[in-house]
Amino acid sequence: MNNFDIPLAVNACSTDDLAKLQVFEKILKGNVEAILITDTRGDIEWVNNTFTAITGYPESEALDRNLGFLFAGGNNEYAALYPKLGEVNHHVAETHMFRKDGSKFPANVTLSAVRSSADMITHYVLEFSDITEFKHAQDELQQRTRELSRSNQELEQFAYVASHDLQEPLRMVASYTQLIAQRYRGKLDKDADEFIEFAVDGATRMQAIINDLLMLSRVGTRNVAFTRTDVKQSLDKALANLRLVIAESGADIVCEALLVLDADGSQLTQLFQNLIGNALKFRGDRAPQIKIGAVQQDGDWQFHVRDNGIGIAPEHFERIFLMFQRLHGKREYPGTGIGLTICKKIVERHGGRIWIESEAGKGTTFLFTIPIQQAE
Amino acid sequence: MDIDRLGRPADFLLVEDNPGDVRLTQEALKSHKVQNNLHVVTDGEEAMAFLHKQGKYKDAPRPDIILLDLNLPKKDGREVLAEIKSDPALKTIPVVIITSSEAEQDVIKSYNLNANCYVTKPVNLDQFIKVVQSINDFWLTIVKLPGNPD
């Protein structure tokens, strides 16, 4: 007679206890996972309804049998799990189990021990679920991730090779049009001077665009692993790179981001340099006042770079992150329009997002997040 | 200034397969005040033939300085560099690697093979001219070169 004979237990209990026991049994019987209870040898003393639903074995065909018949490894599989219970309360594993019709299914199995008040193991409890669908979804996801990763790598290589190989012929066009301009300026007619000017200008802009594409593709291809990075150091480096512009614009810059996180330090420097550089460039008439800080929000560090410059109208917020999108003519403000694209790519590589708060004429705040803990 | 230091115009050997870059180097050196003799070969094998005074190069002068591109047909610039720097008769000639490659491994390899220095070809014309002229000034007017072992 095993311990889970409910009618016998009834005689020893009051009506209240009986009602409670019956509720508990109902809950366990209908639990979403299959539940098996065995003695210390592994012989089955109790199974719930879900066990039958998953395996096809009715209760009568499972009781008193050793649970080895359910596992591909037979008894040995069970025996392998057992020693692990000495140190931990339960052991979770993925394995394969057999149904009554002989078919196999992948299962997630949790094994735990029930101890007496003298801390001796009296029973084992096995809970499992059929994870066939879950495994399919997992495999599909892995496959899709592999394909995407391969496709990404190809694209990045393409961008890098294209920009890299375009450099040399472009150097020829740019250098020789400049040579012609230098050597023959004023010696041919006025039209020629103008034509040469347009050609040189075009070549120079092409060079700038190719350099930018190379820079952008490098954000993807020259990936170093994240390390503990002192944000202040990255910031300081960015400010050092901008020192000339900072000096000549009379900018006042306040940094309150004193924190350390897992990141690519040189990419952080590039990110800050682009954002602060923009704040300095689009300053309007006043001396720039730039504030940089960070707060913790929803598991992320949320950084802000706030300026008192010319501002951005909300209808442009999305567009300016696209490649080579500019809001001004090149005579008003220099630049090819790749800076924010690079910022977005760096932020996204770090698992964050970047957005803007601004109004035309009222300064701009760029905000971006980086998770406090990077995913493995 | 070159003439004061060497007592004669300097002999440059330019090893470069891109005719556009050859011409640019010529223009850059031409615009400098002093006369130099620029000898040009367009691949690695010709470079070694010039240096060993073989065949049509039997009367070639020993260059005072070699400007060497890395990516050359027939014999690669890295091989040429290795051969020059392991030849007792040639290894004292300064070799300036001037190439479009910015790759870190190319820089390291070149210095390991005892290149005297490594320069990346500037994209901008004015800078290109400035670089070539700086090479000229530095190696031929500031630096002391060993006497000819012949």
Alpha helix segments (H runs only) across A32-125: 49-55, 74-81
A295-313 pLDDT tens trace = 999 999 999 999 999 999 8
B27-44 pLDDT tens trace = 888 866 667 899 999 999
Residue A1's pLDDT is what?
Answer: 47
CB proximity list for A294: less than 8 A, separation 6 or greater: A231, A256, A257, A259, A301, A302, A303, A304
Would the CB atoms of A176 and B20 count as touching at under 8 Å?
A: yes
Question: Distance from A186 to chain B by nearest Cα, in Å?
Answer: 19
Q: Does B78 touch chain A (CB under 8 A)?
A: no
User: Is the complex ipTM more than 0.85?
Assistant: no
Q: Does A178 touch chain B (CB under 8 A)?
A: yes
pLDDT for residue B123 is more than 80: no
Q: What is the CATH number of domain B2-142?
A: 3.40.50.2300
For residue A357, give both structure tokens.
């708060």
Residue A225's pLDDT is what?
Answer: 83
Question: Distance from B11 to chain A by nearest Cα, in Å?
Answer: 25
Burial class (CB in 10 A: 0-12, 13-18, 19+), A243: exposed
CA nearest to A84, candidates A44, A112, A108, A107:
A112
pLDDT for residue B68 is more than 80: yes
- For chain A, which domains are there? 6-130 (3.30.450.20), 132-222 (1.10.287.130), 225-376 (3.30.565.10)
Q: How far apart are the first and last CA of chain B?
A: 25
Residue A9's pLDDT is what?
Answer: 60
Q: Using 50, 70 and 90 to split pLDDT, how confident is the model at A30?
A: very high
Q: Which of the residues B125, B126, B129 would you substitute to probe the A interface, choosing the one with the greatest number of A C-beta atoms within 10 Å?
A: B125
Across chain B, mean pLDDT equals 87
What percentage of chain B carries pLDDT values higher than 70? 91
Count CB-CB contacts under 10 A for residue A60: 9
Which letter does DSSP use for residue A274 in this model? Answer: H
Q: Does A172 touch chain B (CB under 8 A)?
A: yes
Q: Does B124 touch chain A (CB under 8 A)?
A: yes
Instruction: Give the three-state DSSP class for B100.
Output: coil
A34-87 pLDDT tens trace = 999 998 888 999 999 999 999 999 999 999 998 888 987 776 766 666 666 665
Residue A352's pLDDT is what?
Answer: 93
Residue A86's pLDDT is what?
Answer: 60
Residue A236's pLDDT is what?
Answer: 92
Chain A residues whose CB is inside 8 A of the B25 CB are none
The overall pTM is greater than 0.80: no
Mean pLDDT across A262-282: 92
Residue B102's pLDDT is what?
Answer: 75
d(CA B52, CA B62): 9
Q: Using 50, 70 and 90 to split pLDDT, how confident is the model at A232?
A: very high
Q: Using 50, 70 and 90 to split pLDDT, how confident is the model at B1?
A: very low
pLDDT for residue A157 is more than 90: no
Residue B150's pLDDT is what?
Answer: 43
Across chain A, mean pLDDT equals 86
What percentage of chain A carries pLDDT values higher than 90? 40
d(CA A197, CA B111): 40
Which is more confidently placed, A311 or A333?
A: A311
Q: Using 50, 70 and 90 to split pLDDT, how confident is the model at B2?
A: very low
B87-111 pLDDT tens trace = 999 999 999 999 887 777 889 999 9
